[in-house]
Structure 1
Amino acid sequence: MRKVLMIIACLAAAASLQAQPAGGFGGFQMPKIDVHCSEKFADIDYAGDGQVYHKLDVYLPRMQKASYPVVVHIYGSAWYSNNSKGMADLGTIVNALLDAGYAVVTPNHRSSQDARFPAQIQDIKGVVRWVRANADKYRFDASFVAASGFSSGGHLASLAATTGGVQELEGEVGGNLGFSSSVNAACDWSGPVDLNYMSCGGTTDTWNHAPEEAVMGFPFAGNEERFKALDATTYIDADDAPVVIFHGTADNVVPSCQAPHFYELLDKAGVRTELYMVEGGGHGFNMYTEYTLRSMTNFLDKVRTEKGGSFVTGTNPVITGAFSADPSAHVFNGRLYLYPSHDIPTVKYQGEQPWFCMSDYHVYSTDDLTHWTDHGNIVDQKDVPWGEPAAYSMWAPDCVEKDGKYYFYFPNAPKRGRGFGFGIGVAVADDPAGPFTIQENTVKGTGGIDPCAFKDDDGTVYLIWSGMGMRGGKLSADMMEIEGPAVRLDATFPKGQTEGPFMFKRNGKYYLTYPWVRLEGGTETLCYAMADSPLGPYEFKGVFMEESPTGCWTNHHSFVEFNGEWYLFYHHNDFSPDFDKNRSVRVDKVSFREDGTIVPVVPTWRGVGYFKASDELNIDRYSECVGAKVDYLDEFNYFAGWKTLFTQQYDRVRFNDVDFGAKAPSRFVARVRSEKGAVVNVTVGGRSKKVTVPACADWTVMEAKAKLKVTGMQDVTVELVSGSAEIDWVSFR
């Protein structure tokens, strides 16, 4: 490495001597493209020198957010162009990124005629520093800045990923030296990442090295060692940013062997990486499909969220920043932990139908069902030794504690594919949030999906799963094998599709609960049976949740007792109304009759969380609604939530269980929008106040005096008196 860095120092000196005013092969602009942005900021001088090769464009997504993660996307030109940001894959890669909620920065950079390497990567590092320095101005989320590029742009994006912290390549372009130039991820589209491997390891180098010779300033032959300074592969180490690689098998410009070569070196170094070889894909042609573009944004989403974070939500859905399904809830050490599956935008198809697509698991926890922690990625499909690394089959999981260890059971397709059935694996940790270590083999004696791990009062652990009916058995002492033959549990149950079993115990009775499609062509109900022992025999009792009112086909679930209350976690497709394979976890309270049977649960928007009157109360998550309508706040980003539309006199909603504390509020605050203004009646604890909503074409936070002499737990009702208005949230302060 030291030898390479000495070469870089010499190259940098040469680059400064050979730098020229703007020139090179550039300026060609593609025909006008419909870029999916809300705002564009063009021709920003990121270096402050007035040169065309130091201009960039900024595109912000159509979805409205306080800040956006950023991708710097770099055009391809064999390093010959200094002004091609206007043709930087705008209709394909850039639009896919914008639609996924990423701000996109497309920079120019110096060409091989303007300056020699490392000027080009120094420009890109200057762009990354500029992004972080200008985060507030352009609503960038400076905590996540990725690089992407096609061809030579893919080379520069890859180089940005592998050279974080390499001072010899840093440069001072644009200043902002107090900000990091390291990227958080990179997307390499058909990039030449190892110029010494262009002949794919052959003994004779027959490749035309003219483009790289131009950017380096000397011949390749006889200077192979010096050319390593240009290679992204030269700098690979375990601290590099994650990289996703796309390459066509029919690429006749950059040999396709570059991609698996890069992948193998990154993987060997322990760098997170994914490889997508596109059958029949050329150098750009036939490369940009729904599958590849969505795989790119899924990869970036996974990297961006893998470490988790904290969030607050007391209404349904529970998890508001990502899709989630199949929730398994447990209380460990007095804290509630939630182990759901993780739906992502699909890249899997069942025939021609888009299908369930899940590649990893996160774990969440809470003390109060309102303030949540996402502990991040705990198991990923690529890390399962026995599993197919691209099966996207990480379906409903479960977790159980035994002797101070936590065992996370999950299904996955084996390496030979789904056609040979599913296996059930296990990962083990010392803490319910991980880190988890995935075991080498599947659980012996099992085969199927949706494992449920149930621990009885005597410490015995049973595993229940779905596969040729619902089956179960006692787990061995090492938790890796079923003792004896598995027992069929549902042989006497009503006919129809079943899956997703969940077992719990209450007052000495065992409950086997499961999703059931009772009608031909219907969707799933939730039903249950009861028994006096964990492996039955069970007596079917009936349905405790009807089919989804949204038409969501599946509805997996779990029961948990927490702080003296029983809760049902389940899922609907709230954030994906047009595609029921992207689902969201919900929770509602459960009650039981004297004989132990379950009182049917009616799904609510309100959920079970705790709210103070001073919180922003999203009244669209109502407890009761008469007349008013609810719609999404942002048609481009359903995760932004909902709004309540009051259009007719007496439209009203009620939001229950709000804590007004010991001191009565004096002000009513709300985020509203109203074309001509409106009057609403706000009622709390039997006391009402008429509030005037001002005319405002855009969303506005309004305030009004509202001395409501109320304290303690109260319901809040908002009713339209006149006019019309949209309300996002209300608050009392």
Structure 2
Amino acid sequence: MLDSSLTRALRRVPVDAVLASTRLYSSLPVVGKHLEPFAGLTAMALWGGPYAPATLRAAVGRRTAAAAAQAAAAGVAGVEAAQVRRLPPFARARAQRKAYLHQGSIRYGDSPAQLLDVWRLPELPPGPAPVLLFVPGGAWVQGTRVLQGHTLLAHLVKRGWVCLTMDYRVSPLHRWPRQIADVNAAIAWARANAHQFGGDPDFVTIAGCSAGGHLAALAGLTPGDPEFRGELSEDADTTVDAVVGIYGRYDWEDRSTPIRRSFQNFLERVVVGRRQSRHPEVYAAASPLARIHRDAPPFFLIHGEQDTLIPAAEARQFHDALSEVSANPVRYSEIPWAGHAFDLVDSSHARRCAVETAEFLTEVRNRHLDRVTSTAV
């Protein structure tokens, strides 16, 4: 027993030393802000080992199965004949950004990392446009608006929406709850400033992928929570009218399996900096599954059937629990053959996600306009 404890302790030392070094060089004046992404990548490399083999096997399996299905549909014998190469969404991101970016690198706070872009058409339809804030993923150690969500944003922009996509401060330099505080700051900015870009400050929605899905869900469920407000004033409005969670993680408490324990250890040592056993209230407060309530805004959850990083069963569990309590619509869509980050690598999955999200948000928007009209009458 002693030998195994000593072995575990020795194994921790190099990891802790590396993490400490990333926080040190990320906090350096002038150059530190440019080194923050490397700190996040280092943290993901240290903790991504348990997921890598399963993720690789699943990716290969999905590609083979999808090719076989395409071959069968085309009436062609053999998988090789069906290898129709489609440009992955991340490869089109630059063109989409060029086409729809209205104004870039707008500050929504005082930190250099608190930046967002505004996407919209040059000419908007009559009336204030609905607003979506997109929160990128990256395991709470990467929070960049580069590449992520572009298919969804472009689809909504073409339908007359004003879309915002944000950066936020991340661990290990910035510990939790800095990430959610920045998301709330961006929501408050949208409420106060969307009208300057043709947006409707009375209708602001939020969406996010992976860690961004967690942050979007948590923000939607906890408006006004003083622990998550950061530097915001008490009167800042952080409510949202709808939430879209795309392959998000909605449980920050479960330690029931080896993979879940590994994830919780990652949160403890990299993201939060405090042990769950000593501070369970921190993890409960940060867990959307534990923050469900009747007045939750409308929710749409979309997940890949073959996600090995965040299994679809976790999204189903969150959907079922929220559906039982919420007075507003809660919907769930599971995409066959899709894995984690499907909207970055597969065009058909990305398009489906964008279309279904737009349909859901449009329904919520129409109900909002009906309420406004009936109130005015």
TM > 0.5: yes
**Contact residue 61 and residue 101 of structure 1 kept, 8 A:** yes
Letter matched to residue 135 of structure 2: I
- Relative to structure 1, the CA distance from residue 232 to residue 266 in structure 2 (aligned partners, 3 Å threshold; closer, same or farther) is same
Superposed displacement of residue 143, structure 1:
1.0
Superposed displacement of residue 234, structure 1:
1.9
Give 5+ residue unaligned stretches, structure 1. Answer: 1-17, 312-372, 376-733
Alignment of structure 1 residues 629-648 onto 2, 5 Å: none
- Relative to structure 1, the CA distance from residue 39 to residue 218 in structure 2 (aligned partners, 3 Å threshold; closer, same or farther) is closer
SS across alignment from 1:106: strand
Superposed displacement of residue 291, structure 1:
3.3
After superposition, give the CA deviation of every residue in 1:345-367 in whole Å (9 maximum; x if it has no partner): xxxxxxxxxxxxxxxxxxxxxxx
- Relative to structure 1, the CA distance from residue 258 to residue 81 in structure 2 (aligned partners, 3 Å threshold; closer, same or farther) is same
1:45 aligns with 2:102: no
Superposed displacement of residue 165, structure 1:
2.7
SS across alignment from 2:360: helix
After superposition, give the CA deviation of every residue in 1:396-424 in whole Å (9 maximum; x if it has no partner): xxxxxxxxxxxxxxxxxxxxxxxxxxxxx
Letter matched to residue 100 of structure 1: R
- Relative to structure 1, the CA distance from residue 205 to residue 48 in structure 2 (aligned partners, 3 Å threshold; closer, same or farther) is closer
Of 214, 224, 247, which residue of structure 2 is paired with 1:165?
224
1:216 aligns with 2:272: yes
**Contact residue 36 and residue 98 of structure 1 kept, 8 A:** no
**Contact residue 161 and residue 242 of structure 1 kept, 8 A:** no
Letter matched to residue 95 of structure 2: I
- Relative to structure 1, the CA distance from residue 130 to residue 249 in structure 2 (aligned partners, 3 Å threshold; closer, same or farther) is same
- Relative to structure 1, the CA distance from residue 77 to residue 307 in structure 2 (aligned partners, 3 Å threshold; closer, same or farther) is closer
1:183 aligns with 2:195: no
**Structure-1 separation of matches of 2:95 and 2:255:** 34
- Tell me which residue corresponds to 2:166: 107
After superposition, give the CA deviation of every residue in 1:233-276 in whole Å (9 maximum; x if it has no partner): 22211111111001111101112122111111111112421000
**Structure-1 separation of matches of 2:120 and 2:299:** 23
- Relative to structure 1, the CA distance from residue 226 to residue 38 in structure 2 (aligned partners, 3 Å threshold; closer, same or farther) is closer
**Contact residue 188 and residue 245 of structure 1 kept, 8 A:** yes
- Tell me the C-alpha RMSD between the 2 structures: 3.0
1:93 aligns with 2:152: yes
Q: How many residues align?
A: 289
**Structure-2 separation of matches of 1:108 and 1:63:** 26
SS across alignment from 2:118: strand
Of 232, 236, 254, which residue of structure 1 is paired with 2:288?
232
TM-score, structure 2 as length reference: 0.68
- Tell me which residue corresponds to 2:213: 154
- Tell me which residue corresponds to 1:59: 119
Superposed displacement of residue 68, structure 1:
1.5
- Tell me which residue corresponds to 1:25: 37
TM-score, structure 1 as length reference: 0.37
Alignment of structure 1 residues 574-585 onto 2, 5 Å: none
SS across alignment from 1:257: helix
**Structure-2 separation of matches of 1:204 and 1:85:** 28
Alignment of structure 1 residues 330-729 onto 2, 5 Å: none
Letter matched to residue 56 of structure 1: L
- Tell me which residue corresponds to 1:300: 361
Superposed displacement of residue 48, structure 1:
2.7
SS across alignment from 1:208: helix
Of 317, 321, 324, which residue of structure 2 is paired with 1:268?
324
Alignment of structure 1 residues 60-75 onto 2, 5 Å: 60-61=120-121, 64-65=124-125, 66-75=127-136
Superposed displacement of residue 59, structure 1:
0.7
**Structure-2 separation of matches of 1:234 and 1:116:** 21
Of 331, 338, 341, which residue of structure 2 is paired with 1:284?
341
**Structure-1 separation of matches of 2:198 and 2:340:** 34
- Tell me which residue corresponds to 1:633: none
**Structure-2 separation of matches of 1:187 and 1:103:** 16
Of 177, 190, 194, which residue of structure 1 is paired with 2:251?
194
SS across alignment from 2:146: helix
SS across alignment from 2:94: coil
Letter matched to residue 195 of structure 2: D
**Structure-2 separation of matches of 1:198 and 1:247:** 22
Q: Quick one: higher RCO (CA 8 Å, sep 6+), 1 or 2?
A: 2
SS across alignment from 2:153: helix
**Contact residue 102 and residue 118 of structure 2 kept, 8 A:** yes
After superposition, give the CA deviation of every residue in 1:524-581 in whole Å (9 maximum; x if it has no partner): xxxxxxxxxxxxxxxxxxxxxxxxxxxxxxxxxxxxxxxxxxxxxxxxxxxxxxxxxx
**Structure-1 separation of matches of 2:283 and 2:365:** 33
SS across alignment from 1:86: coil
- Relative to structure 1, the CA distance from residue 289 to residue 255 in structure 2 (aligned partners, 3 Å threshold; closer, same or farther) is same
Superposed displacement of residue 225, structure 1:
4.9
Letter matched to residue 296 of structure 1: T
Q: Which has the higher helix share?
A: 2
- Relative to structure 1, the CA distance from residue 251 to residue 46 in structure 2 (aligned partners, 3 Å threshold; closer, same or farther) is same
After superposition, give the CA deviation of every residue in 1:646-680 in whole Å (9 maximum; x if it has no partner): xxxxxxxxxxxxxxxxxxxxxxxxxxxxxxxxxxx
- Relative to structure 1, the CA distance from residue 212 to residue 100 in structure 2 (aligned partners, 3 Å threshold; closer, same or farther) is farther
Q: Which has the higher strand share?
A: 1
**Structure-2 separation of matches of 1:310 and 1:160:** 23
- Tell me which residue corresponds to 1:253: 309
After superposition, give the CA deviation of every residue in 1:84-106 in whole Å (9 maximum; x if it has no partner): 1122221x121122122221111
- Tell me which residue corresponds to 1:468: none
- Relative to structure 1, the CA distance from residue 38 to residue 227 in structure 2 (aligned partners, 3 Å threshold; closer, same or farther) is closer
**Structure-1 separation of matches of 2:329 and 2:201:** 21
After superposition, give the CA deviation of every residue in 1:292-329 in whole Å (9 maximum; x if it has no partner): 32111111111112144499xxxxxxxxxxxxxxxxxx
**Contact residue 101 and residue 117 of structure 2 kept, 8 A:** no
- Relative to structure 1, the CA distance from residue 374 to residue 77 in structure 2 (aligned partners, 3 Å threshold; closer, same or farther) is same
**Contact residue 36 and residue 95 of structure 1 kept, 8 A:** no
Superposed displacement of residue 140, structure 1:
1.5
Give 5+ residue unaligned stretches, structure 2. Answer: 1-23, 42-89
Identity of aligned residues (%): 25
Superposed displacement of residue 289, structure 1:
4.2
- Which has the larger Rg? 1
Superposed displacement of residue 129, structure 1:
0.9
**Structure-2 separation of matches of 1:240 and 1:37:** 35
**Contact residue 100 and residue 157 of structure 2 kept, 8 A:** no
- Tell me which residue corresponds to 2:61: none
Letter matched to residue 267 of structure 2: E
Alignment of structure 1 residues 109-128 onto 2, 5 Å: 109-128=168-187
**Structure-1 separation of matches of 2:370 and 2:312:** 38
**Contact residue 198 and residue 258 of structure 1 kept, 8 A:** no
- Relative to structure 1, the CA distance from residue 268 to residue 309 in structure 2 (aligned partners, 3 Å threshold; closer, same or farther) is closer
